[in-house]
Structures are given as C-alpha cells and as structure tokens.
Amino acid sequence: MKILVRPFCLKRHHRRQKWCFVSGVDKEEEKMSRKLILPLLLLSLCLPVFGQTMGDQSSAGFNNARTYTNNDLAGVRPPLRLFQTISLTGVTNANSVAVFENQFLVGQPGSPVNYKMFSRGGNTLWTQDVFGTGGSFRYVPALGGSLVILGGESTTSVKAVKISDGTVLWSDQVGNANGRFPAVTDNLAIYAGSDRIVARTLAGSVFWQQAVTTAATAIAVRDDSLYFLSRDRTLRAVNLMTGALKWAPVLNVASDGASLVASEKYLFVNDPAGGIVAAFSAATGQLAWNQIVNLPGTFATGPALALAYGRLYVFRANNGSGRAAISAYDADTGEAIWVVREHGEGLSHAFIADNAIYYYHGNEDIRVRDAATGTLIWSIPDTRITALTAANGELVALRPNAIDIYQPTNEIFMPHMANGAGQTTLIMLSNTGSQPATADVEFFKEDGGHLSVPLRSFGTQFEVQVTIPPNSSTAVQTLDQGGNLVSGWVRVGSTVPLHGTTNFQYSEQQDIVREAGVADAVAIGAANIFVSVGGGFNAGVAMANPTEQDAEVTLRLLNNSGIEVGSQTMTLESGGHVARFINEMFTSQVGSAFEGTLAVETDVPLAITAIRTKGGIQISSFPIGQAVR
C-alpha cells in the first residue's frame, strides 16, 4: 500500500415564501411503539451524559447536537502542510470519511453502497455493503462505543457493525437513509429512514420507534432531547428516554436539505426553500427569533449552519450574486455581526475547530478563516475534495480514491529581507518554551525560488538549521560583501513555536548607522497600513506569499477621510515576494506629500510588513492592521 509523505514546497435562487409556524398535535403521531427494557437498563439510559464518545465527525456534526464545532480539537490552526497521502485500494468515488483513532472509515455510493475501514498505512481492515441503487447517495456514519452505524437506500438500510472488525451486530429496514445522518450516544443508537425513526440500545433492542416520513436531514440530539424534521416540513422534539413528544410539533418549518443545530437553550433551523434561518426555544418549541429572512441564493449543504463561541454561522454556496458567503450572527438575538464573500460560488463541508472556520470552496480550495472576524488565514488548492473533517490534531481531506492528511506546522514568516549595498538583515529567533527547538531558516527570491545569501558563520546558503535551547534565543545575520542589493523573504519552520524579529540594518563604512526592527508576520487575507510621504519620508510595503497558490491582490489607497483615491491589482505567485515604496505604487495620487491608508485585500493569505524610511533608509516600522484574533 502506497503512502506518500510530502515535504513543504512552494512552487440558483430560492423560491421566496413566507415562513409560518403553526403548533398542532396529531394524535396519531403520539402513538409510538415502545419495547420495555429492564428497569436497570432504563435507569442507565436516564443518565444525563450524552454525546458521541469517539470519532465525532465534522461532516456528521462533531457531536450529536450537530453544532459542527469540535471543541476538543486544539492546535490545528494554520499554517497547514500536506503530511501524508493514503491511497484507498478498491475505492473510486468516496464521499464520506469518519475517523476512529488512526483508522479511516470511507463510504462510497453505488450498487451496493460500500464502506471500507482503512488503517493509517492504507491497508483495508474490513468492508461492508449496504443496499444501494447506484444513484446519488450521501450518508455519514456515526461512531460510538464499539460500533458504527452504516446506512443505505432500502431493503436492509441500516447496519450496526463492530468498529474493530466490521462484524454485523444488528440491522434494520427503515427506508431510504440518504441524507439522514444518525447519532450514537453513550447508550443509544438513533437513526432514521424515509419510513421510521428508531432508538435502539447499542446491543440492538428497540427502545422506541415512530413511523414517520422523515425529511432527508440529519437528526440532532442534545441532552435528553431528539430533534428531527419530517417530509411535510414539521419540526418535532422527542424525549429521548420515552419517545414522547416534548412539545407540540411546529408546522411549516423546513424539509429536505435543512440543517438542525441544538444547544441547551435553542434549536436552530434553516429552510432551504425559503432562505430563512430561525431559532426555537429548546424548552417550549416557541419561535425565539427569525430575523434572518429572505437570504438570497442557495444554502450550503453539509452543513448550512454551525454554532460556536455564542455565534451562529450561516454558510451559503451562492449569495445570489455568484459568490459563496459566510455570515456570523448573535445566537441569542439573530443580529448580524459580519459577513464575508468568496470570489466565486460553491461552499461545502464546513466546520469549526480551534477558533477557525474550515470549508471547501468552489471545487478549488480548502479555506480557513478566523472565527471571530471572518478574516482569511489559510488556503490549500485542491480540485477533488469530497469530504472534509478534522481529528487527532490533523485536517483530513477526502478525495475520490485517497485521503490527504494535513498537519499544522510551526512556521513564522519574515516578509522582507535585504542584503547588499550597505544593507544587511539580522533575523532573531526566540524560544520561550521549555523544550529545545530546531529551526530551518529558508531564504526565498522574488519569484519564489531559493535565494542564496552570505551568512555569518554559515557561508553562502539558501537554508540553514539552528538549535535554540529552552528559554533562549539565537540570530542569523546576513553579510554585505559589496555586491548589489538583493531582496526576498524568509520562512522559519521549527519543531516548537518560535517568535521572530527582523532587524533591517544600514551601514556606512562597516558601521551600522540606521536600523529598524519588525516582528514576524502571520498570513492574512486583508490588512491596512498607515502611510505617510513627504519631507524625505516614505513608506515601503513588502508582501510574501507562503502558500501553494498564486494570489490575486487588490491594493486601495485611501486618504485621511477614508475615501479611495486609487487602486490597482497584481498577481503574487506562490512563494513570491514584492517590495515597493508607496509613491512607486501610486505615483500620481501620492505626489510629493500624502497621508492616508493602504488597504490590502487578497484571495490567498499573504505575509505583509511595512517600513518607514527617510532618504531611502529605514528608520522604523509601520504597524499592520489585521482583523485576526
């Protein structure tokens, strides 16, 4: 089985309708079949702790409440680099992946629907088939305890199998399970098909069941409550312990393709047919708010909603203007906080982890945004992604026949360095941790190729490795050997997190007469910089592209009143670098004197820095305004 380990390298509108909510109880709906369980078992099922104990998946909701937020996953923020590719033998059109420890359960539609469990090494551990017609089918299994719930289209449409070896423990026929993602709690497996919704003990005994034509949506479980939608657009809440209705069904809410997100206080629902998002009281079913109405375009699928940090995030594949969009709202009031738009349509597989929003955009790239502000912080090009999740501190990207695993890396960027014609650059690295650090310091040219630079103690190199003891620091110094000025940028990758500072030094007769220090930069998709020109002063701006995508950059010059007086666009290739003075970028607008702001917007995150100069020589740095928390 082939495993590839790769190092880092650079080079439709909605039909508008009024959404009405009508409460009413259908007596027939209250007739649920229940099977009595031993009192001891019933007592155990009444325990208050519910939630998948392992393998919570982003595409399945990360938890049974379908919040699409992995609160247990930390340290997975960018930068992210491809670490491993696992080839999936016998798989050609995979569209779901669930991670259990270091094993990967991959599902692919077809006739039959096929599930295979793969090891980290790419070996097939077991395989199971569930009836399928060969058409479009989407189902994300639920893992819990020692079993996993698999789904199919009809006949035996649900199977519970052992995670360890794929042995079938029990099965059921509930109608088409397409789009109806199940849930596994500590004691129950809850699943739905087009004919019924069922709660079973993990051993396979039916605890309760209800005959209902369910909508093709994932169910949501929170504490002792189960929430689901029926095909007739009715929202139901059921007591998970008894199968009884918690409150009167709410009519005309949503149907196929909707997302349900449950919190202790609210149940959030979107209606794909009406462009509406609303919150219902989890205790009473009463409408809490529905201020998000008439959203144009098309909601994203899998999912359209996510809940985290007191905010409700809404994902749209098309905002009505041909652009994907993400909006953040106050979860208690529905008030808008911010919205960001992509450069094209298409958005899927969204989830939130470690204060960042992950999603697949436009069949082009995996995108990562800061959850607090929506600012773009990373982008990975890939035109073949069919599912996206995160587990074990890694980002897992499924392709039709392979899994790509991305790992977070300890990287810092120095967007500019200069050497020659009196200029040198001092790169200072600080290790504030308790473990020693090994760091690779790489120098890159304007076009992204490696740049060989004369270095003190190392000779002329494009990459050097340094070791930094705990709570210590070190420096890498370029040497001016009398040649022409060369410039580029620096990337530092290390075994533990480091902090870096770049000192730009100017010497006359080998004595340093001017220098300016700049802290290391993070990659961001938007920034603004105060600029001032006049009396010999100028502002220099440098940008480096540390990603594997070319960046389309828009530069806008604003005066002190915030009015745009000039703009231009440019392309900065992968690994590329550019450094210019502000009066070179906007010659006529700046003239001999100007004060204002340079606003930078880019479709790929860049590392940016700015220097204040006098007579062409650096004297201080300019702060970079960036909306990342």
Encode pLDDT of 596-617 as tens digits: 999 999 999 999 999 999 998 9
| Number of Cβ within a 10 Å radius of residue 601 | 16
The secondary structure of 356-374 as a DSSP string is EEEEEETTTEEEEEETTT-
Q: Give the model's pLDDT for residue 5.
A: 35
Encoded tokens for 20: 């009405």
Encode pLDDT of 260-311 as tens digits: 999 999 999 999 998 999 999 999 999 999 988 889 999 998 799 999 999 9
Angstrom distance (rounded) from CA 375 to CA 453: 34
Q: Is the peptide bond before 112 cis (omega within 30 degrees of 0)?
A: yes
Band of pLDDT at residue 21, cut at 50, 70 and 90? very low
**Where in the sequence of the chain do the CATH 2.60.290.11 domains occur?**
410-504, 524-625
For residue 28, the SS3 value is: helix
**Where in the sequence of the chain do the CATH 2.130.10.10 domains occur?**
21-69+94-369+383-408
- Per-residue pLDDT, averaged over 116-133, amounts to 95
- Fold of the 21-69+94-369+383-408 domain: Methylamine Dehydrogenase; Chain H (2.130.10)
Exposure string of 71-87, with b = 16+ CB inside 10 Å and e = fewer, is: eebeebbbbbbbbbbbe
Encode pLDDT of 460-511 as tens digits: 999 999 999 999 999 999 999 888 999 999 999 999 999 999 999 999 988 8
Band of pLDDT at residue 15, cut at 50, 70 and 90? very low
Encode pLDDT of 419-440 as tens digits: 999 999 999 999 999 999 999 9
Burial label, 485 (beta-carbon count in 10 A; 0-12, 13-18, 19+):
exposed
The secondary structure of 441-506 as a DSSP string is EEEE-TTSSB--EEETTTEEESEEEEEE-TTEEEEEEB---S---EEEEEEEEESS--EEEEEEEE
- Residue 590 sits at φ, ψ, to 5 deg, of -80, -45
Q: Which of 33-37, 210-214, 218-222, 497-501 has the lowest mean pLDDT?
A: 33-37
Angle at alpha carbon of residue 524, lines to 523 and 530, rounded to 5°: 110
User: Which is the CATH superfamily of the domain at 410-504?
Assistant: TM1070-like (2.60.290.11)
Give the architecture (CATH level 2) of 524-625: Sandwich (2.60)
Angstrom distance (rounded) from CA 360 to CA 507: 49
Angstrom distance (rounded) from CA 371 to CA 356: 5
